[in-house]
Amino acid sequence: MENFENKTAYVTGAASGIGFAISEALVKQGANVMMADIDGGLLTESANTLRNYKGRIETHVCDVIKAKDVQAGFAATQAAFGNIHLLFNNAGVGLAGKPGQIAIEDWRWIVDINLMGIVHGVEAFVPHMRSHGEGGHIVNTASMAGHFTMPGMAPYHATKFAAVGYSEALAQELASQNIGVSVLCPTWVKSNIYNTGKQAPTLIANANSKTPSKESPSANETTNQMYQLTKGLVENGMEASTFADLVLKSIQAKRLYIFNDREARDAINVRRDMILKDYDACLKDLGL
Ligand SMILES: NC(=O)c1ccc[n+]([C@@H]2O[C@H](COP(=O)([O-])OP(=O)(O)OC[C@H]3O[C@@H](n4cnc5c(N)ncnc54)[C@H](O)[C@@H]3O)[C@@H](O)[C@H]2O)c1
């Protein structure tokens, strides 16, 4: 995609952080943007700050957990703007916790948003992007946490590794159909992401309940520790607008992976070396 003028985009998680900054960068460059988010109040407020740019803004309240919401988002975008060229599957949440302390309901919640939310976007928009013949680009938000792991964040890592792998597969599937794919793999960007871990279903139920918590004290402790850690890192992270400008440039450059951190680069080599060490040891045991 050479430029964004008069192109149409659907952006999930658009009320805040990275999704908001991408919406702003797009509308500044003359794209029409359907901003989608589960938080209708914040969505209206955020969208209203973007109405004086070249492109047009519409909003769609949507829970990406629900395939039918995302399908309705597709229909609303097409009705408002016609052909759709860009899909940003960006909505995502965090969840901390140690194995054996994470409620299965909370695991399902993060998988349903961070992975299935992307799948719902792809399934709803790809047939249309393929059929209109004007080309398209899909951008899935993973994280640097989709390339390396650290303790206390297994659910987040699992969903972000899945988002990276799914994006790599999609890039191969769609290349011949004039649909590009990119996957966002940032480390810390200024946003409200550190608050989302407290919205997991059992944590909300416990916060609203007068009866004793199902959570163990150590589960609470891990959540609080990760909250403090990520809050500090995100608040000192990259400006979301800087990252959003890189995202648009990277779409134009047809990059699959979009990174933003000099220091995290080594993590990729460390993981690669770890995998190859065991790979070679297995081959040796097999005499191959
Ligand atoms: N900020 C960072 O440091 C960072 C780093 C790596 C990856 N990410 C990823 O970036 C993406 C955007 O997060 P952010 O950092 O801008 O955080 P954010 O919390 O500021 O924005 C996320 C937005 O997604 C919305 N959302 C949450 N659940 C939703 C749902 N079920 N349906 C629709 N919308 C929903 C929220 O209301 C919010 O407006 C996420 O996928 C996150 O994992 C963020």
Q: Determine which of 24-28, 156-160, 226-230 has the lowest per-residue pLDDT on average.
A: 226-230
CATH number at residue 185: 3.40.50.720
Q: Is 6 left (phi over 0), alpha (psi -120 to 50) or beta?
A: left
Token couple for 227: 């909250």
> Is residue 231, in this structure, part of any structural domain at all?
yes
**Cα 194 to ligand 1 centre (Å):** 9
286 CB-contact burial (10 Å; exposed 0-12 / middle 13-18 / buried 19+): exposed
How does residue 151 score in pLDDT terms, banded at 50, 70 and 90? very high
Once rounded to an integer, what is the mean pLDDT over residues 24-38?
Answer: 98
Q: What is the pLDDT of residues 75-120, one digit of tens each?
A: 999 999 999 999 999 999 999 899 999 999 999 999 999 999 999 9
| Closest C-alpha to ligand 1, atom 25 | 13
Asked if residue 214 belongs to a domain, the reply is yes
The C-alpha angle 117, 118, 119, rounded to 5 degrees, equals 90
Residue 139 lies in a domain: yes
156 catalytic residue (yes or no): yes
2 within a domain of the structure (yes/no)? no
| pLDDT given at position 1 | 84
- Regarding beta strands 86-89 and 136-141, do their DSSP bridges make them parallel or antiparallel, or are they unpaired? parallel
Residue 100 in any domain: the answer is yes
pTM passes above 0.85: yes
pLDDT band at 248 (very low <50, low <70, confident <90, very high): very high
Is the residue at 277 inside a domain? no
Residue 208: per-residue pLDDT: 80
pLDDT, mean of residues 158-183: 98
Instruction: Please give the number of the atom of ligand 1 that sits closest to the Cα of 187.
Output: 5
pLDDT in the model for residue 211: 65
Does residue 279 lie in a domain region?
A: no
Q: Whose CA is nearest to atom 1 of ligand 1?
A: 189
Output the CA torsion 18→39→57→3 (10° steps).
20
pLDDT of residue 282: 98
User: Mean pLDDT throughout 184-210?
Assistant: 88
* Token representation of residue 146: 């989709």
CA distance 44 to 91: 16
Whether 189 and 177 have beta carbons less than 8 Å apart is answered as: no
Residues 123-146 pLDDT 10s: 999 999 999 999 999 999 999 999
Say how many domains are in the chain: 1
Query: For residue 249, is it within any domain?
Result: yes
Give me ligand 1 centre to Cα 42, in Å: 13
The whole domain housing 86 covers: 8-263
Report whether residue 11 contacts ligand 1, using a CB cutoff of 6 Å: no
| pLDDT above 70 (res 213) | no
Residue 199 has pLDDT above 90, yes or no: no
Residue nearest to ligand 1 atom 3, measured at CA? 188
